[in-house]
Amino acid sequence: MATARQLAQLERDLRRLLPPALAANVTVVPPREGTVVLLVAHNALAARLRQQAPSLLDRLRQKGWQLEAVRIRVSLKKIEEPAKPVKEAHLSRQGLSSLRALRDTLPASPLRDALDKLVTHHSPTGHRK
């Protein structure tokens, strides 16, 4: 049975051998009978890892790990996706002035209402001016 320190070292070695996006989504199960099991969250990751398993096994052996096989299993563990940045659109003063001028030339219509909302939203004080 592997100690916690050995398991942590195996996990570090494994993560260094994998691309960062893949390494972040792999959990290592302690090796048993020369086989290390890698848990991944979905089939696409499992397929990609299975393609890399032979070279991964060779490289782990080169680092001194006495392993006979690498098995990949799909786990129900949820992958934590990085938070998407919030979009923040900003209009220049010239752009805002042009939109105001366009709004003011239009007759009452849904387009004028949409431009009015846009101008109000992007105005520094939130006024329609």
pLDDT, tens digit (0-9, with 9 covering 90-100), for 63-120: 999 999 999 999 875 555 667 777 777 888 899 999 999 999 999 999 999 999 999 9
Q: Which residues contact 42 (CB under 8 A, 6 or more apart)?
A: 74, 79
Tell which residue, 75, 89, 74, has the closest CA to residue 121: 89
pTM over 0.85: no
Q: Which domains does the chain have, with CATH numbers?
A: 4-74 (3.30.300.180), 87-129 (no CATH)
Yes or no: say if 55 and 61 are a contact pair by the CB < 8 Å rule: no
31/2 Cα distance (integer angstroms): 7
Q: Tell me the C-alpha distance between 2 and 56, whole Å.
A: 19
DSSP H or E run through 29: strand 26-32
Question: Tell me, what's the pLDDT at 89?
Answer: 77
Tell me the per-residue pLDDT of 13-64, one tens digit each, with 9 for 90 and over. Answer: 988 998 888 888 888 888 888 898 999 888 998 999 999 899 999 999 999 9
Q: What is the pLDDT of residue 103?
A: 94
> How high is the pLDDT of residue 82?
66
